Amino acid sequence: MIAAFELCRHRQLLLSLTWRDLQVRYKQTWLGMGWAVLLPVAMTLIFSFVFTRAVNVVGGMNLSMPYPLFAYLGLVPWVFFSASLTGCVTSLVSNRNLVTKVNFPREVFPLSAIGSAAADFLVAGSVLIGLGAYFHYTTDWEFGLHGSILFLPVVVAVQITFTAGLGLLLAMGNLFYRDVRQVSGVGIQLWMFLTCVLYPMPQDGSWFSYCAWLNPMTPIISAYRACVIEGRIPFDGHFLYSTLVALVTLVLGWWCFGRWSHRFAECI
C-alpha cells in the first residue's frame, strides 16, 4: 500500500520515463511509430500465407471470421504482452545510474516499459478498423459493432495486471541472475505457440485442451476476439480464472519487488 502511494506521487516520473522510452525506440527511424503497426501486420501476412497456402489448415479451424483478422486480433495483444515483458526484464539494469543514486520507487522502471509498449498497442489496434472494413466489403463476412466492445477496457486491464506482476518478477530476477533475460526471451516465444494467438484452442475435453486453458493468456486473447468480433461478453469461468491469476501475480510481484529492493543497488 505504501509503495502504491509512493508510485502515485511519482506518476510524473513514470510518464517521463515512458515518453523517454518511446523517443529512444523510434529515434532516427523513417517510420517512427509506424513500426508498431508493421510488426503485427507482417506477422499476420506470414502466418496467413503459412496456414492458408503452404499448409492449408484454416478450413479445419471452424473460424467465425477471416483468418487474417483472427490472427491480427491475437498478435496485437500478444506483441503488447511480449514487448512489455522484454522491456521489463532489462528495465533495472539499463537504468543502473538512476537505481543506485536516486531515491524513488523502483517499480517505475518496469511499469514505464509496459507504458511504452501500451502506446504501440493502441496504434496497432487502430488498424483493426480498416482490416474489418476490408473484409466486410470484399468477402461474404460481415462486420458489425456490438455492445460487447464496451467491455474491452476490462480485458486490457486484466492483461496489464498480469503483465505488470510478471514484469516486476522478471525485472528483479534479471538483476540478480542475468540468465533470466536469455531464458525469458526463449520462453516468451514458446509461450505464444501454447496460446490461442494463431489458432483456436481445442474444445474436445482432451488433456491438451485442459492444459491449454490453464494458460492465463489463452482466455485473455480469446476475450479480445469475443469483445471485438463475436459480440460476446467473455466473462466466463476461463476469463475469471485469468483475472484471479493476474491479481495473484501482481500481488506476488509487487511484494517480492518491494521485499528485495534494498539489494538492487549492490547487485546492479
The CA-to-CA distance between both ends of the chain, in Å, stands at 26
What sign does the CA torsion over 203, 205, 206, 208 have? positive
**CA 160 to CA 127: how far, in whole Å?**
21
**Residues 160/247, Cβ–Cβ less than 8 Å:** no
Question: 249: Cβ–Cβ under 8 A, 6 or more apart, which residues?
Answer: 161, 162, 165, 166, 169
Which three cell numbers mark 8?
Answer: 502515485
Cell numbers given for 128? 483493426
Written as one letter, the residue type at 198 is L
Overall pTM > 0.85: yes
- In 3D space, the residue among 159, 183, 184 whose CA is nearest the CA of residue 247 turns out to be 159
pLDDT by residue for the chain (268 residues), tens only, comes to 555 666 777 688 888 889 888 888 888 778 777 888 888 899 999 988 887 775 656 655 677 788 899 999 999 999 999 999 999 999 998 888 888 776 778 899 999 999 999 999 999 998 888 888 888 888 888 887 788 899 999 999 999 999 999 999 999 999 998 899 999 999 999 999 889 898 887 766 677 777 778 899 999 999 999 999 888 898 888 999 999 999 999 999 999 998 888 788 777 7
Element of type H or E holding 194? none
